[in-house]
């Protein structure tokens, strides 16, 4: 074999032995003692070619399977966690999080079984759902209320009633939407879970119907003041439903069930419903809500009940991880699973219900990405409308938008826990100062800014839960 591994030196028959380390010793024709010779079919073919040709170049030797596998496959590369933009958080991370929550819930269930004899606290679940039929009735009544708003809007746009009468009827309907469900919640003394569902349904229906009324009424008034422009729009556009009022029934009915808060005559639509996708998201809702309930009953509620006796800092430390787990499960179950189920069943195509809020480096960015449907509604019907109709400045429009968002969030919690202290609204308004801090050059678009946002969330979530739980349980004791 030594005669085969040679380099051509001069003439045709002038050869010299070569080696891979550059010292050119003769290569032994057989492996040394106490070693194992690894040969492959490719090696045999290569050797056969060499025997036929009589020689082998350095490139051919290096490229042979027996030699190429010893090359060092290195190059300049960063660790993956040093380059967040290269991270690929797909199915692996998703499955890891699911399994972690499943084992956490399983561990809590086993602990409860050995201490109480049952895996889950069913008594608390029965108390949470004791007025479920009343809650369903409230939802149906609020849905029926929406048809009254459609009737008033239709009458105004079609000029069946004066504009002033239409506005008066709309205001009365909007006030009744907020008053009637709250009265039912208080009289029935509904549990915080169902009371929270009722208050959130009030906000959703109110925002939807305001968008429907405002869009059609303002377009109606605009073209009423400029009739020549309405005619031009209709003549110049084959489909003018986006530029003129549309009070026909099918778009209204679709808007009522679609997972969006902003009215339009048409939306991007998917071609068909995927049953397996709906089933997967339903399982996601059941799984996330089940783990949320187990964490709530076994880790959070015991701390809530002791919130008035424990030092605040101690209760805060003990509640940090449970409260963040509850918050993340709520986000996944509501913003991802439930909204995507409605989107799939209605073939609604715009499914950007959230963005990467976990990468936010300032609180204004976080609020823009956390809840996209509400953010778009606030921008269109509060920020833009306030500047266009009442001529607010940008600063005043921004503050009014943030204030209304804080009021609506606080409204949901006041109805749910029957408290009188605006804790959440106060903390949201205090975030205005934090927004300016996180917009400093040292914070903006940096890892430090993102850590600041996460630190505020980790402290703010358990703090608000403790304060609301403390007042709620104090009221229960007094009652």
Q: Which two tokens stand for residue 233?
A: 């729009």
Q: Are 102 and 286 a contacting pair, CB within 8 Å? A: no
Cα–Cα distance for residue pair 9/183, rounded to 1 Å = 102
Triad 133, 135, 138: Cα angle to 5°: 110
- The CA–CA distances, whole Å, from 402 to 97, 376, 444 equal 33, 13, 20
Phi, psi dihedral angles at 449 (to 5 degrees): -65, -40
Per-residue pLDDT of the chain (479 residues; tens, 9 = 90+): 444 344 444 444 444 444 444 444 444 444 444 444 444 444 555 555 544 445 667 666 666 666 665 665 566 666 666 665 556 666 777 888 889 999 999 999 999 889 888 888 888 888 888 888 999 999 999 999 999 999 999 999 998 999 899 999 999 999 999 999 999 999 988 888 899 999 999 999 999 999 999 999 988 887 777 666 665 665 555 444 456 788 889 999 999 999 999 998 888 898 899 999 999 999 999 999 999 999 999 998 888 888 778 888 888 999 999 999 999 999 999 999 999 999 999 999 889 999 889 888 888 888 889 899 999 999 999 999 888 888 888 888 888 888 898 899 999 999 988 888 888 888 887 777 777 787 787 777 788 888 988 998 998 889 888 888 888 887 776 65
């Amino acid at each position: 074999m030594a005669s085969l591994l040679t380099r051509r030196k001069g003439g045709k028959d002038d050869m010299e032995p070569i080696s891979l380390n550059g010292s050119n010793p003769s290569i032994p024709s057989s492996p040394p003692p106490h070693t194992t010779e690894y040969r492959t079919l490719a090696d045999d073919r290569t050797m056969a070619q060499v025997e036929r040709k009589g020689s082998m170049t350095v490139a051919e030797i290096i490229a042979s399977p027996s030699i190429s596998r010893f090359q060092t496959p290195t190059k300049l590369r960063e660790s993956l966690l040093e380059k967040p933009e290269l991270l690929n958080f797909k199915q692996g991370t998703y499955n890891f999080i699911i399994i972690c929550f499943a084992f956490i819930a399983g561990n809590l269930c086993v602990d409860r079984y050995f201490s109480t004899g049952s895996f889950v606290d069913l008594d608390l679940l029965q108390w949470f759902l004791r007025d479920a039929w009343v809650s369903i009735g409230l939802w149906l009544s609020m849905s029926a209320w929406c048809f009254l708003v459609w009737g008033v809007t239709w009458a105004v746009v079609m000029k069946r009633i004066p504009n002033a009468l239409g506005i008066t009827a709309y205001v009365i309907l909007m006030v009744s939407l907020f008053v009637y469900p709250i009265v039912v919640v208080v009289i029935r003394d509904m549990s915080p879970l169902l009371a929270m569902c009722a208050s959130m349904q009030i906000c959703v229906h109110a925002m939807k119907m305001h968008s429907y009324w405002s869009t059609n009424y303002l377009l109606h008034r605009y073209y009423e003041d400029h009739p020549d422009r309405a005619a031009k729009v209709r003549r110049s556009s084959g489909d003018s439903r986006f530029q003129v009022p549309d009070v026909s029934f099918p778009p209204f009915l679709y808007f009522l069930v679609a997972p969006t808060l902003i009215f339009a005559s048409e939306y991007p639509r998917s071609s068909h419903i995927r049953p397996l996708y709906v089933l997967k998201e339903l399982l996601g809702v059941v799984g996330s809500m089940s783990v949320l309930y187990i964490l709530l009953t076994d880790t959070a509620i015991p701390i809530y009940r002791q919130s008035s006796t424990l030092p605040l800092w101690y209760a805060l430390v003990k509640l940090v991880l449970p409260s963040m787990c509850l918050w993340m499960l709520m986000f996944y179950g509501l913003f991802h699973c439930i909204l995507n189920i409605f989107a799939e069943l209605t073939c609604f195509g715009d499914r950007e219900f959230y963005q990467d809020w976990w990468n936010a480096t300032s609180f204004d960015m976080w609020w823009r990405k956390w809840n996209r449907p509400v953010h778009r509604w606030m921008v269109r019907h509060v920020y833009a409308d306030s500047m266009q109709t009442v001529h607010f400045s940008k600063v005043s429009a921004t503050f009014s938008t943030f204030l209304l968002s804080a009021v609506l969030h606080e409204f949901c919690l006041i109805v749910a826990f029957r408290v009188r202290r605006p804790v959440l609204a106060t903390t949201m308004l205090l975030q205005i100062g934090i927004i300016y801090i996180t917009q400093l050059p040292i914070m903006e678009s940096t890892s430090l800014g993102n850590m600041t946002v996460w630190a505020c969330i980790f402290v703010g979530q358990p703090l608000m839960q403790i304060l609301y739980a403390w007042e709620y349980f104090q009221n229960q004791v007094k009652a």
